[in-house]
Amino acid sequence: MNSIIAIGIIALWLCGSVDAIEHGKIIHDKITSPALEGNFLGNPATKPLTVYLPPGYDEHPQKRYPTVYLLHGA
């Protein structure tokens, strides 16, 4: 019984600490590719784009961050 109470207290403590994590921001935009204009398949030249900016990105514009490109396939 005591172990169940201890696990419950630890779980509540961990849930409370999640709010302290600093989050970045997500930007949804569109980009137009001249290479896709008038393509054979008729795909639109404008595609959706999602960018995640890490915490502190706006405050430190000269800082370099690692980049990950996620290509959805086709």
C-alpha to C-alpha distance for 52 and 28, rounded to whole angstroms: 9
C-alpha to C-alpha distance for 47 and 71, rounded to whole angstroms: 12
Task: Note the pTM of the prediction, 2 decimals.
Answer: 0.56
DSSP classification of residue 27 = E
pLDDT digits (tens, 9 = 90+) for 12-70: 777 765 556 778 899 999 999 898 898 888 889 999 989 999 998 989 989 999 888 88
Is 6 part of any domain? Answer: no
Is 14 part of any domain? Answer: no
**Number of C-alpha atoms within 13 angstroms, CB side, residue 25?**
6
Is 72 part of any domain? Answer: yes
Q: What integer pLDDT is reported at residue 19 of this predicted model? A: 58
**Nearest Cα residue to 39 out of 13, 3, 74:** 74
Is 48 part of any domain? Answer: yes
